[in-house]
Chain A
Amino acid sequence: AQTVTQSQPEMSVQEAETVTLSCTYDTSESDYYLFWYKQPPSRQMILVIRQEAYKQQNATENRFSVNFQKAAKSFSLKISDSQLGDAAMYFCAYRSEGGGSEKLVFGKGTKLTVNP
């Protein structure tokens, strides 16, 4: 079974600075998808960024980018120019490609605090 590990329960960053959140995963599959979701306090979870495992190029969405290391099974999220609105729980998630299972497997999350 696939597992996702986020080793940083909490992180903090100064406004306008850069922070990197770590995520590792374990799988025997070669094709899969990886996601970062953001869950603000008392608000719904939303997608931040996604990466297809077959793509070597790291995904980027505005201030958010990933460092995808397939061989190391690592998928870190970098937030540049941090803003107060970035404060939230961040979850790394894994989804198989094909094979019949469409479930997302989530890590335990990292709570990000942004200090003004």
Chain B
Amino acid sequence: DTGVSQNPRHKITKRGQNVTFRCDPISEHNRLYWYRQTLGQGPEFLTYFQNEAQLEKSRLLSDRFSAERPKGSFSTLEIQRTEQGDSAMYLCASSLSAGPTPLHFGNGTRLTVT
């Protein structure tokens, strides 16, 4: 168990640019989640995959955001035409099943949009 890995750890971009983040979950976990955390707030749910299927999306996930999980392994989160309001920590988590099973979180990718 090498844990959930997220890359890059930090990303600084100019407004209007596109960015892509990667998440590698724990290998046997079939569920993968993306959350966004702004300063002073708890994580907010963005989207969730079971294997390669994207099963749930938050209203926070505007049409500028897209997430994929090809082949049910790693996942990418792309933000197009970034805005300053997109500045946040983007957290990825994975789990083996639903219900009371805890989520295992990565260290996150901190995005700063200038």
Contacts and interface: CB of A to CB of B under 8 A. Distances in A.
B102 A43 contact: no
25 contacts: A4-B42, A33-B99, A35-B102, A44-B3, A44-B106, A45-B43, A45-B105, A47-B103, A50-B100, A52-B100, A93-B42, A97-B99, A101-B56, A102-B31, A102-B48, A102-B56, A103-B45, A103-B48, A103-B56, A103-B58, A104-B35, A104-B103, A107-B42, A109-B40, A109-B42
Interface string A74-100: 000000000000000001010101001
Nearest to A33: B100
Nearest to B43: A106
A16 interface: no
Given A45-B91, A104-B33, A107-B42, 20 more contacts: A33-B100, A44-B3, A44-B4, A44-B106, A45-B43, A47-B103, A50-B100, A52-B100, A93-B42, A95-B99, A100-B56, A102-B55, A102-B56, A103-B33, A103-B45, A103-B56, A104-B103, A108-B41, A109-B40, A109-B41
